[in-house]
């Protein structure tokens, strides 16, 4: 992998990740952009104990542009985009309309390929490995920023999810706090560790899932399963078999196997509802241990946390979406219409031939 860092016309950082070491990245951003001004602010809710990012500048962000005006495609001639060069393998840049900025963290965009009509599932294993390497590098770099406590790499796919740019891409949020969902996991870890005299909850869950009927795909170094208490109609959790706290700690064997396993899972997701259906909308979310102090979670260290990816769709059946209604949105009590065992069976049925 070759990494080349440069700056866009408004001062934002852009980084090319190339498969070949001889790639030359000297294209200049020719757009007459003024320096980006953001109004991001993190406010803490004293009742719930969580945080909300207030970012009014995002009201003016790009919204469903035509394909020939996509800001994530390479620049060609007088058609100038966020990527100055005429081609790329993987590129990462600071979001022009970030939810978090400055002392409130940082937001980045990850473009998986220059092919506008592709998806992550269309990548080769070599390309998917490059994305993994980019995620890992950005996790490392962002973790060293003084305002950052947790790094979250994720992909939203499909207009049903709320995606406003059709080009295959994901995002990275670098939060100045431990996110509420991660805090719940850490509290559960601490409670279980104390109650069992030191047992790791992630290890216990993985051992139980490996012995159950909800395993969908198992490799030498990774295992994917539908969790016992799945919140979403079709939800997969992907774990390395050797517990590590973050992407940085994956060994080479796990890194090498990841592309094959992950691409197969994404391709199965597109086959859940049969031929003729539009691409399955999904969210793919990496859960990593925070880089800040964990003094609020007595007895828990970073090494107790287990890196894993959660992949789920909001489509519950052909032509129907799962909406978060009163119980889910008002009380955070999910109601799942698809039994996890049935979801796992379906995801095994649609394996590649």
Return the DSSP state at 61.
S
Catalytic residue among 169, 221, 237, 308: 169
In Å, what is the CA distance from 220 to each residue of 43, 240, 353?
Answer: 44, 9, 20
Q: How far is Cα 28 from Cα 6, in angstroms, rounded to an integer?
A: 9
Q: How far is Cα 328 from Cα 205, in angstroms, rounded to an integer?
A: 24
Q: Which of 64, 65, 314 is nearest to 164 (CA)?
A: 64
In Å, what is the CA distance from 262 to each residue of 170, 181, 223?
Answer: 15, 23, 10
Task: Please say whether the beta carbons of 155 and 170 come within 8 A.
Answer: yes
Q: How many C-beta atoms lie closer than 10 Å to residue 255's C-beta?
A: 16
Task: Please say whether the beta carbons of 165 and 62 come within 8 A.
Answer: yes
Q: Using the Cα atoms of residue 272, residue 278, residue 283 and residue 284 in order, give the sign of their dihedral.
A: positive
Catalytic residue check, 287 = no
Placement of tokens 């060069």 in the chain: 85
Task: Please say whether the beta carbons of 228 and 217 come within 8 A.
Answer: no
Q: Using the Cα atoms of residue 151, residue 334, residue 229 and residue 217 in order, give the sign of their dihedral.
A: negative
Query: In the numeric block, which tokens belong to residue 55?
Result: 């970012």
Q: Could you list the active site residues?
A: 169
């Amino acid at each position: 992998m070759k990494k080349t860092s440069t700056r866009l016309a408004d001062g934002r950082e852009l980084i090319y990740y190339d498969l070949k070491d001889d790639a030359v990245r000297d294209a200049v951003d020719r757009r007459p952009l003024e320096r980006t001004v953001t109004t991001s602010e993190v406010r803490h809710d004293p009742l719930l104990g969580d945080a909300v990012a207030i970012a009014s500048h995002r009201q003016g962000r790009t919204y469903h542009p035509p394909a020939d005006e996509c800001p994530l495609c390479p620049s060609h001639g007088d058609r100038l985009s966020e990527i100055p060069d005429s081609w790329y393998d993987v590129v990462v840049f600071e979001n022009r309309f970030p939810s978090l900025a400055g002392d409130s963290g940082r937001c980045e965009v990850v473009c998986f390929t220059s092919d506008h009509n592709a998806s992550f599932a269309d990548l080769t294993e070599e390309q998917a490995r490059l994305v993994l390497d980019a995620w890992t590098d950005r996790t490392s770099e962002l973790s060293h920023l003084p305002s950052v406590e947790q790094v979250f790499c994720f992909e939203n796919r499909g207009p049903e999810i709320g995606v406003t740019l059709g080009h295959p891409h994901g995002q990275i949020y670098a939060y100045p706090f431990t996110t509420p969902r991660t805090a719940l996991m850490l509290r559960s870890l601490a409670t279980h560790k104390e109650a069992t005299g030191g047992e790791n909850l992630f290890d216990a869950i993985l051992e139980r899932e490996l012995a159950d009927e909800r395993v969908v795909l198992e490799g030498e170094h990774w295992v994917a399963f539908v969790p016992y208490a799945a919140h979403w109609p079709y939800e997969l959790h992907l774990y390395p078999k050797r517990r590590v706290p973050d992407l940085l700690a994956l060994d080479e064997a796990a890194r090498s196997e990841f592309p094959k396993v992950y691409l197969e899972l994404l391709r199965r997701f597109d086959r859940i509802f049969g031929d003729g259906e539009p691409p399955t909308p999904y969210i793919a979310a990496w859960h990593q241990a925070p880089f800040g102090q964990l003094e609020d979670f007595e007895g828990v260290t970073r090494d107790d946390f287990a890196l894993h990816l959660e992949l789920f769709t909001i489509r519950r059946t052909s032509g129907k979406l799962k909406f978060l209604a009163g119980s889910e949105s008002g009380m955070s009590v999910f109601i799942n219409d698809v039994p996890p065992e049935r979801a796992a069976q379906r995801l095994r049925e649609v394996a590649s031939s």
